[in-house]
Amino acid sequence: RKEVEQDPGPFNVPEGATVAFNCTYSNSASQSFFWYRQDCRKEPKLLMSVYSSGNEDGRFTAQLNRASQYISLLIRDSKLSDSATYLCVVNRNNNDMRFGAGTRLTVKP
Amino acid sequence: NAGVTQTPKFRILKIGQSMTLQCTQDMNHNYMYWYRQDPGMGLKLIYYSVGAGITDKGEVPNGYNVSRSTTEDFPLRLELAAPSQTSVYFCASSRKPGELFFGEGSRLTVL
């Protein structure tokens, strides 16, 4: 089993749609969690951290369920510029950061 | 502000050759990482470092070596290159866990 697993996608949605991505992790000792965004042929960039109580950043909402070892990302009112691959990232002990394989999103006009 | 700088950006190697991918950061970050990303796949951790003089293996360390003699530099050494090492290599640094800043990547082809 992979340590970090994500919905494979791809997700193709119209502008204005709401879309949700899921991620599960296997190491129960994992300490912190993040979502990154990667545009085609570019480096990943931090989108947001994921806090236990859930957190929002504009149109983006992240949730964490430690009991189920599950992380989610919700994007509301999708924009064309949201088209990218979204990577779930888990911090194991000692800052050993593990990435999921990513979920590709395409937002269409 | 340069951030994380990787060199070279592109390289073609023959099987059995060796090379070093350079990575330097000017943000005074303690944590540095090397990942590889194969086409259509996620990033796999090769090695990481939590400070000068300290390195640890990640998921896929075989065939690679690293050193961290200074805070700024974290070179990745490939010994005896193999076609399976064809990939895009990303170096990253962070001040605190999770907030990684990546270089633009180094595309390596082994023929």
How confident is the model over B13-40, as pLDDT tens digits?
Answer: 999 999 999 999 999 999 999 999 998 7
Write b or e for each residue in B44-64: b if 16 or more Cβ atoms lie within 10 A of its Cβ, otherwise e: bbbbbbbebeebeebebbeeb
Determine what percent of chain B is predicted with pLDDT higher than 90.
Answer: 89
What pLDDT digit, counting tens, does each position of A13-35 carry?
999 999 999 999 998 888 899 99
pLDDT at position B62: 96
Residue in A closest to B34 by C-alpha: A97
Tens of pLDDT, residues A43-54: 999 999 998 888
User: Which stretches of chain A sit within 8 Å of chain B by CB?
Assistant: 4, 6, 31-34, 36, 42-46, 49, 87, 89, 91, 94-102
